[in-house]
A and B are shown apart, each in its own frame.
Chain A
């Protein structure tokens, strides 16, 4: 239980294009999902917190117009990197918080999406 999937697992795109990454909670409902970014050999940095049906809350320094987040259902959140540039290349990881039953305050992580912008 508590499985979170991400799609795609890796993507290569040209500079200037937009890329959408999906995060799904497969066997539980997640009213809150989180998006993290991880640079090579570094820790995860929280980009934004996404609540179902409302606007995402972005961390300081994260451009909301650059990283569009949509959380339209209790099992799906999407992150769109708009007009991607090489410096956006990174490992993007989502997590979802399970609010039903199990440990209510634990985040379960997806496998990550490797984005490379040429």
Chain B
């Protein structure tokens, strides 16, 4: 079955770059997503990438996709304290059932 794995915790200093990694098993995934969840809140879509792309940049966010290795990463440049949250990687086929990773807790130290 589908499986998505992420590192559980990342701690960075304010101003540094953060890189959150994710691996997935379903080679038929068409979309891969990064969501952010702040305490007690729902999920905020940060960015997504279509499976035929290998990179997408959106302001401070850069998504890299290595389809051969089924590896996805999210880089946050100039990380701020407001970026502290849980980041979920997810994959789907044509926007149907989303399969989530367990989430990576990002802690930003000032």
Residues of A at under 8 Å CB distance from B? 4, 6, 34, 42-44, 46, 49, 93, 95, 97, 103-112, 114
Contacts and interface: CB of A to CB of B under 8 A. Distances in A.
Interface size class, chain B: 20 to 34
Contact of A44 (B41, B43, B45): B43
Given A106-B48, A109-B44, A111-B41, A46 B97 contact: yes
B41 A43 contact: no
Contacts of B42: 4, 6, 93, 109-112
Contacts, number: 53
Interface in B88-103: 88, 92, 94-98, 100-103
A107 B96 CA distance: 9
A43 B103 contact: yes
8 contacts: A4-B42, A42-B102, A43-B102, A93-B43, A97-B95, A103-B48, A106-B48, A112-B42
B107 to A, nearest CB: 14
Nearest to A10: B40
Given A43-B100, A43-B102, A109 B43 contact: yes
Interface stretch (B29-37, B60-68, B73-81): B29-37
Closest 4 CB pairs of A and B: A105-B95, A109-B43, A111-B42, A112-B42
Nearest to B41: A111
Nearest to B89: A43
Nearest to A45: B100
Given A44-B88, A95-B43, 5 more contacts: A42-B102, A42-B103, A43-B101, A106-B95, A111-B42
B103 to A, nearest CB: 6
